[in-house]
Amino acid sequence: MSGAKAPDLLHAVNVLPDLTGIDRTFTYLIPNEVAVTTGMIVRINLANRRVRAWIVDDHVDIPEGVTCKPIEGVVSLALDVDRIALAKFAGWRYAGRIRPFLLAGSPERIVRERDLPDPRSLVGTLSEELDQTDPVGIATRDLMASGGGVLQLPPTAQRLSVVRSALEMLERGDQQGKDLLVLVPERRDVETLARRLRRLGVRCATLPEDFGSAFVGGVVVIGTRNAVFGPVGSLGAIVVLDAQSESYVDQRAPTWNATVIAQERARLAGAICILTSPAPPLAITAESRVRQLERPYERAHWPALEVLDRRSDDPRSGLYSPMLGEIVHLALERDDRPVACILNRTGRLRLLACRSCGEVARCEHCDGAMRQLEGAGSEVSPVLTCSRCAKTRPLICTFCHSGQLKVLRVGATRAAEELSALLGLPTKLVTGDRESTDRAQQDEIDARVIVGTEAILHRQSSASLVVFLDFDQHLFAPRFGAAEESLSILALAGRLVGPRGSHSVGAFARRLVVQTRLPEHEVVVAAREGDPSKINATELVRRRELNLPPSSAIALISGEEAAAFIELLAGDPSIEVGLFDDVPNTPKRQGSIRYLVRAMSTRLLCEALSAREGFGAGLRIEVDPSSI
DNA sequence: CGGACAAGCTGA
DNA sequence: CAGCTTGTCCGG
């Protein structure tokens, strides 16, 4: 391939060292006999240290007044010109360093040119014919033919059809020989999709392990968030499945979103990008065309949903509607599958008050709410713990010293105990905490009622019922995206119970059960009717009124140098700055202040945030924060 | 990041 | 004033 290239004279490149604390490039020389390309990892000598570095610019001029050293050698294949450009874009878009993005696109172990497998063609790899009348396939082909966009795909529809149809479109016409990149939210989805495609005769490379074959191409490349920076032989299209998933957002700074990066990668490569989602959030639909399926098809592929209106229930019945016991018993009797009960609060008791004086149990030091955590092992923890500063004290009212406290709000651990008593059956607790899950599984391996946080929806593949014990907690979450997230959770839960009406005559009707005091909330209605578009119009108006995304672009600024940076930004006319909150004493950081920065558009916001250069680790910028 | 070098604190 | 800590700068 490179044999025909004109012999370069000794030339210079810019490299970015693989060191956490360095956010700038250096110029190095490439000896004549060494062949390099942009994106490769080389070894350099920097300040008498041998470090790895990525070539980020090739054939650059040597800056005046510096003497450049030659590189010490080539280490590994990693990125390429396009993905280096993508990493630079990500650094701009998320106001952060580009090293994390270069790492995301690099192999875990060294990959040399000679290690690469032989390139093969994808042509003719689909052994089974696609059903050309499948509505999902038709919609996918439409989108592929018209340049991509968002596919509003109901939760129980076949996501595999999207991938197969996209692949089929790449195998014909002028796209022939181009490769497909598929992003999925979780690791287990990577395995599942690769297995299914391989069964159909499609060659797959999963990232990060199959770096070499993905690099060469002729395979469908499948991976999670980081794979958006991964190698793809010759990119023709990107499919992002369940694009609304929070798994695509990195929790650590910079808090980037793989969906956004996927769209830019496709744009840079002249490839097509298709995002699928059962309930596409405004962040996605505001900028893209949305392809919906025929209403009857969409409706039929949402789950059945039963609302338990809690408005007239006795408040003393706690989390459980009077009908709940009966509903669960019937499900267990008529269906082999487990019943899943969702309560998104961990711990045992989340909010307590004194039985005699009514005072809410609060921390003497920081005023935070005191709660009872799950004890070590199975015994009950004898103390209250502050949810903010983690200080502990005995279960006594500090106001009147009474030892009698009443529970205002329970956590999943207590709910599991209570449900067990209510139903007269063992229950299994599942939370995001690995340890407690393992323990519960050992203790009560045959429990058919599973109680826990949203984590259940990711661990369990099927259920006869998914009960949302306190759905209002989702609807009222203190985030502007709460409505969209609530609907997405219902969609996710729908995959466990299957589409409405799928049961044979006389069999149990698997369904979602939603306990709420807002039975006519637009989210509940949208899910019940399988029509996610229902929430978009009202949501868009609300966002516009509050000047929240997508009507504006926002970022949160925190850290020791935040105040200085905000002062600098205040001079920018395209930017609006304000105090966001005072985070009270957390165990780690004492009273850190966060500022909210707002601009009319993402471009204006990112341009303004570019002023961060010169600031170091004392500045934390979170672009597109979800937690406000 | 981590080495180099400068400026500040300590002690007999 | 050596011997040590702490801070700031900079690398091609």
Residues A367 and A424 both lie in one domain: no
Q: Say how many C-beta atoms besides its own lie within 10 A of residue A113's C-beta.
A: 14
- A406 bridge partner residues: A353
**DSSP 8-state assignment for residue A386:** E
**Measured distance CA(A273)–CA(A486) in Å, rounded:** 26
Position A280 scores a pLDDT of 97
Is the pLDDT confidence value at A354 over 50?
yes
* Number of folded domains that form chain A: 5
pLDDT digits (tens, 9 = 90+) for A163-183: 999 999 998 867 788 999 999
Chain A window 32-61: residues with CB closer than 7 Å to nucleic chain C are 45-47, 49
pLDDT score recorded for residue A502? 67
Long-range contacts of range A250-254, CB-CB < 8 Å, 24 or more positions apart?
A250/A100, A250/A225, A253/A96, A253/A620, A253/A621, A253/A622, A254/A90, A254/A91, A254/A94, A254/A95, A254/A96, A254/A97, A254/A100, A254/A621, A254/A622, A254/A623
Q: Kindly report the CATH number assigned to the domain that includes residue A591.
A: 3.30.70.330
> Distance between CA A79 and CA A54 in Å, rounded?
8
- Round to the nearest angstrom and report the end-to-end CA distance of chain A: 51
Q: Give dist(CA A251, CA A549) in Å, integer.
A: 19
- One domain, residues A535 and A424: yes
Measuring CA to CA, how many Å separate A202 from each of A133, A180, A197? 21, 11, 5
User: Would you say the C-beta of A1 is within 7 Å of strand B?
Assistant: no
Structure tokens at A457: 């929806």
d(CA A73, CA A35): 10
CA distance A351 to A371: 6
Q: Could you tell me where the beta strands, DSSP code E, fall in A443-583?
A: 449-452, 465-468, 511-516, 553-558, 575-582
Nucleic acid strand B: bases within 7 A of protein CB: 1-4
- Which residues lie closer than 8 Å to A417 by C-beta, 6 or more apart? A427
Co-location of A590 and A524 in the same domain: no
Instruction: Give the dihedral sign, CA A136/A142/A144/A149.
Output: negative
Q: Take residue A409 and report the two structure tokens written for it.
A: 């709000």
Q: Is residue A517 in some structural domain?
A: yes
Q: Nearest nucleotide to A21 by CA–C1' distance?
A: B1
The CATH number linked to A437 is: 3.40.50.300
Give the span between the Cα atoms of A207 and A106, in whole angstroms. Answer: 10
pLDDT, tens digit (0-9, with 9 covering 90-100), for A79-128: 999 999 999 999 999 999 999 999 999 999 999 999 999 876 554 455 56
Domain identity same for A433 and A582: no
Asked whether strand C has any atom less than 7 Å from the CB of A25, the reply is yes
Report d(CA A607, CA A553) in Å as an integer. Answer: 12
Strand B contact at CB of residue A571, distance < 7 A: no
Q: What is the CA A49 to C1' C3 distance in angstroms?
A: 27
pLDDT of residue A592: 73
Q: Which of A260, A323, A350, A266 minimizes the C-alpha distance to A514?
A: A323
Q: What DSSP string runs through A65-112?
A: T-PPPBP-EEEE----HHHHHHHHHHHHHTTS-SHHHHHHTS-SS---
Supply the pLDDT for residue A501.
Answer: 80
A82, burial (CB in 10 Å: exposed 0-12, middle 13-18, buried 19+): middle
In sequence order, the 6+-apart residues with CB closer than 8 A to the CB of A520 are none
Strands A49-60 and A26-30: unpaired
Same domain, A330 and A271: no
**CA–C1' gap, A74 and C12, in angstroms:** 18
Asked if residue A289 belongs to a domain, the reply is yes
Q: Where are the beta strands (DSSP E) in A260-348?
A: 272-277, 290-292, 305-309, 339-342
Quick one: pLDDT band at residue A361, thresholds 50, 70, 90?
Answer: confident
A195 touches strand C (CB under 7 A): no
The sign of the dihedral angle between the CA atoms of A320, A322, A324, A326 is positive
Q: How far apart, in whole angstroms, are the C-alpha atoms of residue A549 and residue A552?
A: 5
Cβ of residue A20 near strand B, that is under 7 Å?
yes
Instruction: Find the Å distance, CA of residue A48 to C1' of nucleotide B12.
Output: 39
Q: What is the C-alpha to C-alpha distance for residues A185 and A262, in angstroms, rounded to an integer?
A: 13
Its domain, for residue A172, covers 115-294
**pLDDT for position A505:** 66
Partnered with residue A50 across adjacent β-strands are A45
Q: How far is CA A328 from CA A322, A332, A339, A426, A487, in A?
A: 11, 6, 7, 13, 23
By C1' distance from the Cα of A23, the closest nucleotide is B1
Percent of chain A with pLDDT over 70: 91
Contact, A97 CB vs strand C, < 7 Å = no
Least confident of A232-236, A590-594, A596-600: A590-594
* Statement to judge: residues A137 and A186 lie in one domain: yes
Residues A120, A104 share a domain: no
Show the CA angle centred on residue A100, arms to residues A99 and A101, nearest 5°. Answer: 90
Dump pLDDT digits (tens) for A417-461.
889 999 999 999 988 765 454 454 555 567 899 999 999 999 999
Spacing of C-alpha A345 from chain mean position: 20
- Is A19 (CB) below 7 Å from strand B? yes
Predicted local distance difference test score (pLDDT) of residue A126: 56
- Whether the beta carbon of A21 falls within 7 A of nucleic chain B: the reply is yes
- A68/A169 same-domain check: no
Looking at residues A333-349, what average pLDDT do you find? 88
Predicted structure pTM score? 0.92
Beta strands in A234-301 (DSSP E): 235-240, 272-277, 290-292
Strands A553-558 and A179-183, by their bridges, are: unpaired
Residue A550 is predicted with a pLDDT of 94
Three-state SS at A60 = strand
Q: Region A597-605: what's the mean pLDDT? A: 97
Per-chain mean pLDDT for chain A: 89
Q: A440 in a domain, yes or no?
A: yes
Q: What is the pLDDT of residue A387?
A: 77
pLDDT band at A598 (very low <50, low <70, confident <90, very high): very high
* Lowest-confidence region among A195-199, A257-261, A361-365: A361-365
Q: Which residues contact A58 (CB under 8 A, 6 or more apart)?
A: A11, A13, A36, A37, A38
Which nucleotide lies closest to A46 by the C1' atom and the CA atom? C11
Q: Tens of pLDDT along A477-532?
A: 989 999 999 999 999 999 999 999 866 666 789 999 999 999 999 999 999 999 99
Residue A547 maps to a domain:
no
Helix (H) or strand (E) holding A492: helix A482-497
**Do A212 and A285 reside in the same domain of the chain?**
yes
Residue partners of A426: CB distance under 8 A and separation at least 6? A420, A444, A446, A447, A449
In a domain, A381, yes or no: yes
CATH code, domain carrying A63:
3.40.1440.60
Select from A499, A519, A540 the last residue of a domain: A540
At residue A533, the pLDDT reads 93
Q: What is the pLDDT of residues A537-586, one digit of tens each?
A: 889 999 999 999 999 999 999 888 888 899 889 889 999 998 887 655 44
Q: Where are the alpha helices (DSSP H) in A506-620?
A: 522-528, 533-546, 562-569, 602-609
In this structure, the answer to whether residues A510 and A384 fall within a common structural domain is no
Distance CA(A397)–CA(A370), nearest Å, equals 11
The torsion angles phi and psi of A12, rounded to 5 degrees, stand at -110, 150
- The nucleotide minimizing the C1' distance to residue A19's CA is B1
Output the distance from A193 CA to B4 C1' rounded to whole Å. Answer: 54
- CA atoms within 13 A of residue A281's CA, in its CB half-sphere: 22
Task: Give the sheet arrangement for strand A149-152, strand by strand.
Answer: A204-206, A220-223, A179-183, A235-240, A272-277, A149-152, A290-292
Report the distance from CA of residue A147 to the C1' of nucleotide C12 in Å, as an integer: 44
Q: What is the pLDDT of residue A7?
A: 52
d(CA A463, CA A475): 23
Q: Are both A465 and A580 inside the same structural domain?
A: no
In a domain? residue A628: no
Q: Which residue's alpha carbon is at the shortest distance from the C1' of B3?
A: A47
Same-domain pairing of A369 and A223 = no
Tens of pLDDT, residue by residue over A285-305, are 988 999 999 999 999 999 999
Asked whether residue A546 is assigned to any structural domain, the reply reads no
Residue where a domain terminates, one of A409, A432, A455? A409
Helix, strand or coil, per DSSP, at residue A524: helix
Please give the average per-residue pLDDT across A392-419, as a whole number: 83
A545 falls within a domain: no
Contact between the CB of A49 and strand B at under 7 Å: yes
pLDDT of residue A409: 78
Of the residues A362, A386, A409, the one at which a domain ends:
A409
